[in-house]
Structure 1
């Protein structure tokens, strides 16, 4: 045998010794597992029939009075009031900026219909009622 084969044989024998040592220690550890007690059905019946603990103190649960998510409140509709921002002259008449929205005659804004846009005011109509927005 040459030198290389002797080194490989020594390395394999060392690995074999380590492997057999681990197997031997695992067999010893398995003997300790045999000491665990095994329960039968009669033992389990004892655990089931143990007396339950009685409640000595009464626990009062205080409910939170806040209505989460407004679940039970009545529906309310909040109608926004239009505010005239600006009146803009154009080639085919006037346009207006009402509460940040660009509107022309006939457009709807906050349940109102824009009836007429004049140089100093805007006429809005809702349910046969007229509302006048004047330029400031």
Structure 2
């Protein structure tokens, strides 16, 4: 896996690489590897991307991850964005919560989380509002 990823990054350095999804590794890691290996796998992928001046975006279904796996992955990546829902019924809106992003926290409250309303359709992804949604309302 690392060799194929490294080959891809070498062919197009400075680009964005997307791993969809880290959750797909869970059956393998839980059956054959120690849970800490998920941390080392993701850390190695991040290192390879950083060495080639590339950006790595990796998706994961947080419902499939244990609390420990979530914490290990959060430690590995420089930015963590969680997507969810706000509201109920026909008033539901898609949200993005920034839980880890060093450059962002320099401008925002370093002790909190910030949740944004999102507008997503087939043709675009946009942040429709930067209003902070208090955690008590989520």
Output the TM-score relative to the length of structure 1. Answer: 0.21
Higher relative contact order (CA 8 A, sep 6+): 2
Which of the pair is proportionally richer in helix?
2
Q: Which structure has the larger Rg over C-alpha atoms? A: 1
